[in-house]
Chains A and B, each alone.
Chain A
Amino acid sequence: MTMIFGIPIQALLGQLLVGLINGSFYAMLSLGLAVIFGLLRIINFAHGALYMLGAFIGYLLLVHLGIGYLPALILVPLAVGVFGMAVERAALSRLYRLDPLYGLLFTFGMALVIEGVFRFYYGVSGNPYAVPSLLAGGTNLGFMFLPNYRGWVVVASLVVCIGTWLLIEKTRLGSYLRAATENPELVQAFGVNVPLLLTLTYGLGAALAGLAGILAAPVYQVSPLMGSDLIIVVFAVVVIGGMGSILGAIVTGYMLGLAEGLTKVFYPEASNLVVFVIMAIVLLLRPAGLFGRDA
């Protein structure tokens, strides 16, 4: 068996794959956080709860209505996005003129409520969501065995991340978004409906979280707690990357997933901590974050 630094290469690659999967979710979630923060100046604490909501809606669609994975890939982001837009219209839009901390506190409360509701009805234990038959099984890559669904998650998250990046950097809607991030008043004075843009942006961020949730459902168990622990790691990712750059958020997400995977191989006890340690080091060396532009 081939060894690298005394570690069998299969184990190394296996953990790197796990890291890449985790990184895919970090990337999608920190991307959504960055998009929302850029325009709304709100740190969406409820992002983890929306991710959990996405997984749960997928699970409930399957269990109660028999709607499978493929339609859920469309329906879930739609549902979570609409939910997000309703929340923005009803509540977040009232907070824009206040200290951004209020947005953080409001979405924190929202996260508690969403999580609490699902805990109340479904308990804390996980519910399995079967891998769709289309993506079941695995492929032998020669040097390792790749479960098809995991490969799909990596590809799907890359497509989603690059697609979102293109939407923001290359389209007209994206140019409204970037301009409104710089100077919302002037963009609105030009005749762009900025309040609507804000609603759509939060909806987009929420839909991304929901999509990540349904993608995650077959990988992890569907559980009310799946979002809250993840969101804190994603916050650390966002601190490391800095929220000034969409691409930065994506790259940092994947990098930290891989770093976690590597740590699991060499020093498993610290794998929970490594993201936070990296955050501390980045704060010492580059307080604005790796891709940060703001002070």
Chain B
Amino acid sequence: MSELTLQDERNAASVRLERALVALGIVALIAAPFFVYPIFIMKMLCFALFACAFNLLLGYTGLLSFGHATFFGGAAYFCAYAVKAWGWPPEAGILLGMGGAAVLGLVMGFFAIRRQGIYFAMITLALAQMFYFFCVQAPFTEGEDGIQGVPRGTLFGILDLNVAMNMYYVVLAIFLIGVFAIWRIVNSPFGMILRSIRENENRAISLGYSVGRYKLAAFVMSAALAGLAGATKAIVFQFATLTDVTWQMSGEVILMNLLGGIGTMAGPAVGAGLVVGLENTLATSGFPVTIATGLIFMICVLIFRRGIVGELYARWLAPAEGGEGGKG
């Protein structure tokens, strides 16, 4: 019994700590644009949301998608096109991007969930490549140039997004809403079932869950949220290009998760921040980004499978199991 109460106390303490950290993080993000170049933080926030959306699938359902660039980049195209060619307001463009990503997610998920494990990864990769070729050829994406000069417009007809600070707080709000949605999904009964599928798919099947539907639902939600991130990015940077639908982009979001900590709430965001920061640094140094990315991949897989946040969790919350450190 005494062990239990000790555990409870530790849990209560860690919940308090977590809340304090979240509050601190939000305050820091609100204050950030006064100290750091806002466009840089906005880029980080878009990728962080993308990474968190991806984690909903990998971390909480156990499905490794190698095709998430389709939703991120696809939504960017849809949003950019609607805003630029049809003159839609930004909020409508973003919603369209999100909806388009959800539809793409439904189609890709429908095929991919027919196989498991590495086959799932290969199928998503192949279908994403198919979408990439489609984007290369389809006229509306404007090929190699991409859709340039997308107007930021006025949110709900009142908030002028061309003002940097307005844009920043809109992106921050979208990020917080997105992450909150993921948090709610993960901690709902639905999220519990997803986790039980991750832990033991056969047992979930024998308990009577139609596992396929749950996987597909998780896939669509993850795709839609990745789309939200991609569409927002298109508004912020005012363009949508092929870069965001390449397999390298799908790999990058995996790296963000791996580095930050798969299956932790904060890990993917931390990983996204680091990867975006690293790329920014390397861009001026002349050292090739792909080599750095690849090396981090290899190191993470070999000796750092829990990721940064996962490692912190393991050290702070389970000191009794300290002997297992590093073996994720």
Known: A235-B122, A238-B122, A239-B126. A109 touches B294 (CB 8 A): yes
Residues of B within 8 A of A43 (CB): 118, 121-122
Contact: B297 with A112, CB < 8 Å?
Answer: yes
Residues of A within 8 A of B291 (CB): 112-113, 116-117, 120
Known: A105-B254, A105-B297, A232-B129. A91 touches B64 (CB 8 A): no
Known: A239-B119, A283-B114. A106 touches B288 (CB 8 A): no
Q: Which of B130-138, B232-240, B270-278 contacts A (4 or more CB under 8 A)?
A: B130-138
Residues of A within 8 A of B294 (CB): 108-116
Contact: A280 with B301, CB < 8 Å?
Answer: no
Contact: B290 with A116, CB < 8 Å?
Answer: yes
- The reply to whether the CB of A83 lies closer than 8 angstroms to some CB of chain B is no
Contact: B134 with A273, CB < 8 Å?
Answer: yes
Contact: A106 with B301, CB < 8 Å?
Answer: yes
Contact: A283 with B298, CB < 8 Å?
Answer: no
Known: A100-B118, A112-B290, A116-B290. A235 touches B298 (CB 8 A): no
Residues of B within 8 A of A (CB): 64, 111, 114-119, 121-123, 125-127, 129-130, 133-134, 137, 247, 251, 254, 258, 288-291, 293-298, 300-302, 305
Contact: A120 with B130, CB < 8 Å?
Answer: no
- The reply to whether the CB of A272 lies closer than 8 angstroms to some CB of chain B is yes
Q: Is chain B's binding surface mostly helix, strand, loop or mixed? A: helix
Residues of A within 8 A of B115 (CB): 239, 283, 287
Residues of A within 8 A of B123 (CB): 239, 279, 283
Residues of A within 8 A of B251 (CB): 108, 112
Residue total for A at the interface (Cβ-Cβ under 8 A): 43
Residues of A within 8 A of B130 (CB): 273, 276-277
> Taking each of B126, B134, B137, B288, which has the highest tally of chain A beta carbons within 10 Å of its own beta carbon?
B126
Closest to B251 in A: A108
A-B contact pairs, 25 of them (CB 8 A): A43-B118, A95-B301, A95-B302, A105-B300, A105-B301, A106-B297, A112-B251, A112-B297, A113-B294, A113-B298, A116-B290, A119-B288, A120-B288, A232-B129, A232-B247, A233-B126, A235-B122, A235-B126, A238-B122, A275-B126, A276-B129, A280-B111, A280-B127, A284-B111, A287-B115
Contact: B305 with A91, CB < 8 Å?
Answer: no
Q: How far is the CB of A264 from chain B (nearest CB, A)?
A: 14
Closest to B127 in A: A276
Q: Is chain A's binding surface mostly helix, strand, loop or mixed? A: helix
Closest to A238 in B: B122
Residues of A within 8 A of B (CB): 43, 91, 94-95, 98-102, 104-106, 108-117, 119-120, 228, 232-233, 235-236, 238-239, 269, 272-273, 275-277, 279-280, 283-284, 287, 295
Contact: B290 with A119, CB < 8 Å?
Answer: yes
Q: How far is the CB of A202 from chain B (nearest CB, A)?
A: 16
- Give complex CA distance A236, B133 in Å: 14
Contact: A273 with B133, CB < 8 Å?
Answer: yes
Residues of B within 8 A of A110 (CB): 294, 297-298
Closest to B294 in A: A112
> Taking each of B116, B247, B297, which has the highest tally of chain A beta carbons within 10 Å of its own beta carbon?
B297
- Give complex CA distance A176, B129 in Å: 37
Closest to A281 in B: B111
Known: A43-B118, A43-B122, A287-B115. A91 touches B290 (CB 8 A): no
